[in-house]
Structure formats: structure tokens, C-alpha cells
Amino acid sequence: MIRLAAFDLDGTLFNSSSRISDVNLAALDEARKRGIRIVIASGRPYTVVRHVLEQLRLDLTDSYCITLNGAQIIRCRDDKELSGSFISGRDVRDIAGFVLPRGAFMHTYSVRRGLLLSRMNPYSEIELFGGLVKHAEDNFLKLDDNEKFYKALVAAQRELVDQIAAAVPDELRSRFKVIRSLGTLLEFLEPGTGKGPALARLAEELGISAGEIIAFGDEQNDLDMIEYAGTGVAMANGGEEIKRNADFVTLSNDEDGVAYALRRFCF
């Protein structure tokens, strides 16, 4: 029996217009009525995820979410961070020293200051989500050693991100978890961070086993969550790696693939 359903946002619960369709909303509402706990597991910050939870009309007194690709677990009742993982200002400087000379842009999420941009760029709107996320520009090569960050992101055209991903030196790969979250985004996180580990911690907190979980995703950053869940569902628009490792491939995010799989496995 499924007791918890975890959903990525971009490319999964969101369609290509970054909206949740009425069909998917109705399916999520039916899941809640059947006692299935809904958890959003996203690379986005809590500001965006909470907005989505409110759109889903969830009772936030009993909701949790996984944000920033597992760097945070938040209890929505009081906005309390139950779990956090961090990289340092020195870490972000070292990543920037490798990335910025190659012509890419960078974003990072500071614990204290929120979203920082190396400079405003064509990919910034992905992170700003229509103005929901406050931001500032900063010099990533001059960040303080001891400032704490949740993650650092590389943003560029897909071809350049491909090149940068292939060229990440072993020294950086040994220090960080390096994952693709979109074709135009590459992320650097603390090595033990991920949606899968965060989902496992949350499930333990709630007394739910992996076999009672269904998880949905489309990109590399969803892979450990798909593998952890008893039922891992990949979107048809997802990458080949995640589709190979999923238990089921559903319809695309523009074809209400979430609703299709919920009806198949939960209703």
C-alpha cells in the first residue's frame, strides 16, 4: 500500500509552462483523500515549494518538503529546517574559479542571504520563479571562507554545460556531489546530499518504509529518489538514465503523466 508520494517539480509535476494541470491537481487531491502523504522534492528553494503546496491546497500543519535537491528538509507547520547540508564560501570560490572562465554563469543559495547570482543572465528566471525568490549579485571569487551555502549551480546553454560537466576535475568531484538538474543546469552539493537520502530520512521520521513510497522524477537529480522508493516512476520526457532505472515510465509532463501513474498504482 502506498502511504507517501514524492514529486519533483520541473519536468514532472510542472508542465512545460511551469504549471500544474487541473488533471494532476485532481489526482493529487484524490491521493490525499485516500490518506497518501504528498511530499514535494525539488531542487528549488522553500519559497517556491511552499507556494506550490499552497496551490495544492494542502493542510500545511501536516506537510513536509525536500528542497534544494535534498540540502533541506522543511516542516511546513512552523517552517522549521529539520535537516540541512552545506558547502562553504571557499567551496563556492573554488567551483567559480573552474566555471566562470569557461563562460558560464553561476547561482548559489546562501543560508544567510538567499539566492546570489554571479550576474543576471538568461537563465536567472528559472531560479527567480516569477519574482518569488529574492536575489542579489555578488563576486563569487571573493566570498568569505566561512559563509554557508546549500548548493552552487552552473547555468549555460546545454552544449556548454555538457562541456563543463565532462571537464570537472577529479579534485572537485571528490569534494562535491555533481548532478544535472536541467539540461542548462549543473549543481554542486555536499557529497552526502540528495533527494534520495533526504526522502529516506523523512520516511524514517514518519515511520514509512521505502516499499510504501512512490516517487516521480525526470532528471539525474531525481535518480537516487527513484531508486530508493519502492515504486520509482520516470516521466516519458525524462533522461534515459532515469528511465532505465525506474520501475515504470509514465506519460510526459505535458500529458498528465503524474495522474496517469497515480491512477495505475494508487487508486
Look at the chain and report how many structural domains it folds into.
2
113/209 Cα distance (integer angstroms) = 36
Which pLDDT tens digit goes with each residue over 106-158? 999 999 999 999 999 999 988 999 889 999 999 999 999 999 999 999 999 99
- Give the domain range for residue 40: 4-84+193-265
69/10 Cα distance (integer angstroms) = 12
Pair (72, 99) in one structural domain: no
96/93 Cα distance (integer angstroms) = 5
Question: Among 134, 164, 189, which residue terminates a domain?
Answer: 189
At 175, which CATH number?
Answer: 3.30.1240.10
Pair (78, 30) in one structural domain: yes
Which pLDDT tens digit goes with each residue over 195-252? 999 999 999 999 999 999 999 999 999 999 999 999 999 999 999 999 999 999 999 9
Q: What is the predicted pLDDT for the residue at 62?
A: 83
Helix, strand, or coil (residue 25):
helix
* Helix, strand, coil percentages, rounded to 5, for the chain: 40, 25, 35
Question: Among 189, 220, 251, which residue terminates a domain?
Answer: 189
- Spell out where 122-267 has E strands: 135-137, 148-155, 177-182, 185-189, 213-217, 231-234, 248-249
Q: What is the predicted pLDDT for the residue at 43?
A: 95
Pair (97, 181) in one structural domain: yes
Pair (93, 31) in one structural domain: no
Cα distance from N-terminal residue to C-terminal residue, the chain: 10
Pair (183, 105) in one structural domain: yes
Pair (226, 160) in one structural domain: no
Closest CA to 180 of 144, 218, 142, 133: 218
Pair (201, 254) in one structural domain: yes
Catalytic residue among 8, 91, 222, 256: 8
223/245 Cα distance (integer angstroms) = 8
Helix, strand, or coil (residue 185):
strand
Taking 90 as the threshold, does the pLDDT of residue 72 lie above it?
yes
Question: Among 161, 189, 217, which residue terminates a domain?
Answer: 189
Q: Confirm if 176 and 91 have CB atoms less than 8 A apart.
A: yes
pTM for this prediction: 0.94
8 is catalytic: yes
